[in-house]
Amino acid sequence: MGYHCNRLNHPEDRVLANGLKRGEFYNFPPDDLPALKRSILLHNIAMSIHSPLVKPQWYPDPPTWTFLCDVDEDNRQLTLRMVEGTMELAEEFGAEYVVVHFPAPSTVDTTGFSPAKLREIALDSCERLAELSQKHNIPIHVEGFGPSPFLDPTFLIEVITQFPVLRYCWDSAHMYISAQRDGFDYYEFAERLAPYLGSIHLWNTRGMDDYLAFRHIPVHPSQTPEKGWVDIPRLLRIVGRLNYSCPIIFESVHRYPEALGDHDYRDGVKWVKELVATLS
Q: Tens place of pLDDT for every residue, the chain, 280 residues?
A: 999 999 999 999 999 999 999 999 999 999 999 999 999 999 999 999 999 999 888 777 666 567 888 898 988 998 999 999 999 999 999 999 999 999 888 888 899 999 999 999 999 999 999 999 999 999 999 999 788 889 999 999 999 999 999 999 999 999 999 999 999 999 999 999 999 999 999 999 999 999 999 999 999 999 999 999 999 999 999 999 999 999 999 999 999 999 999 999 999 999 999 999 998 6
H or E stretch at 246: none
The helix/strand/coil state of 251 is: coil
Residue 132: Cβ within 10 Å count: 21
Write the CA distances from 76 to 81, 98, 273, integer angstroms. Answer: 9, 18, 39
Helices in the chain by DSSP H: which ranges?
10, 33-43, 73-93, 115-136, 153-162, 174-182, 186-193, 208-214, 232-242, 265-277
Give a yes or no: residue 72 inside a domain: no
Give a yes or no: residue 227 inside a domain: yes
- Contacts of residue 142, Cβ cutoff 8 Å, sequence gap at least 6: 99, 100, 101, 102, 103, 126, 129, 156, 159, 166, 167, 168, 169
pLDDT computed for residue 64 by the predictor? 58
> Considering the entire predicted model, what is its pTM?
0.96
pLDDT computed for residue 63 by the predictor? 60
Give a yes or no: residue 275 inside a domain: yes
Q: For the chain, give me the number of helices (H) and strands (E)?
A: 10, 8
Four-point Cα dihedral 145, 277, 222, 263, nearest 10: -90
pLDDT computed for residue 69 by the predictor? 87
Give a yes or no: residue 216 inside a domain: yes
Identify whether the C-beta of residue 160 lies closer than 8 Å to the C-beta of residue 152: no
Which DSSP letter does residue 11 get? Answer: I
Residue 280 CB-half CA count within 13 A: 6
Q: Which residues pair with 204 in a beta bridge?
A: 217
Give a yes or no: residue 220 inside a domain: yes
Rg (CA), the chain: 18
Give a yes or no: residue 181 inside a domain: yes
Give a yes or no: residue 177 inside a domain: yes
Number of domains observed in the structure of the chain: 1
Write the CA distances from 176 to 13, 72, 186, 207, integer angstroms. Answer: 28, 29, 6, 7
Residues 280, 262: Cα–Cα separation, whole Å: 31
pLDDT computed for residue 62 by the predictor? 60
Nearest one of 143, 135, 156 to 48, comparing CA atoms: 143
**Domain limits for position 187:** 172-253+268-280
Give a yes or no: residue 205 inside a domain: yes
Distance separating the N- and C-terminal Cα atoms of the chain = 14
